[in-house]
Amino acid sequence: MEIKDEIPIVLFDDQCYVCIKFAKIVNFLAKGRITMVGHYSNFGIKIRNEILDESALEMFWFINEKTASGGRAALFPVIKVIFSTKSRKRKFTQMDNICSNDCKSAKAVFVRSFSLITNSKKIDL
């Protein structure tokens, strides 16, 4: 599978309950116009190795033709695609949630939300 053929892509932590819920909400709001990929899937590993750097696992990423935006920097591009009128359908692969019960607590939601706000990065492609 070629990365450029699947753009736009949201790369998220597929071993985190909160992150999976976030990805499902984004996929629903985007009506399938974004390819949703887990960090630990085969395609996610390929993306991390070819495009992203060592900070890849610290945040979710939005990848388009020109940039890979992570964390806070990815919010606006994701919202832009959600409100886009292009109707290109993508697939969302069902993930098995491999997290512990600690992953579903209020503390986990707070930590992930704080991480989203504090982490931000852009990589030109």
Which amino acid is residue 54, in one-letter code? E
Q: How many domains does the chain have?
A: 1
Q: pLDDT, tens digit, for every residue of 55-108?
A: 888 888 999 989 999 888 999 999 998 887 665 655 555 455 555 556 666 666
Residues 93/38, Cβ–Cβ less than 8 Å: yes
Q: Locate 9 and state its tokens.
A: 């892509």
Reduced to 3 states (helix: H, G, I; strand: E, B; else coil), residue 99 is coil
Mean pLDDT to the nearest integer, 37-55 = 89
What pLDDT shows up at residue 104?
66
Helix 72-82 vs helix 17-30: angle between axes, to the nearest 10 degrees? 30
Mean of pLDDT over the chain: 80
Cα–Cα distance, 81 to 100 (Å, whole number): 32
Q: pLDDT, tens digit, for every residue of 2-26?
A: 888 888 999 998 888 888 888 899 9
pLDDT at position 111 over 80: no
Q: Where in the sequence is the domain holding 34, given as residue range(s)?
A: 4-124
Q: How many CB atoms lie within 10 A of CB 102?
A: 9
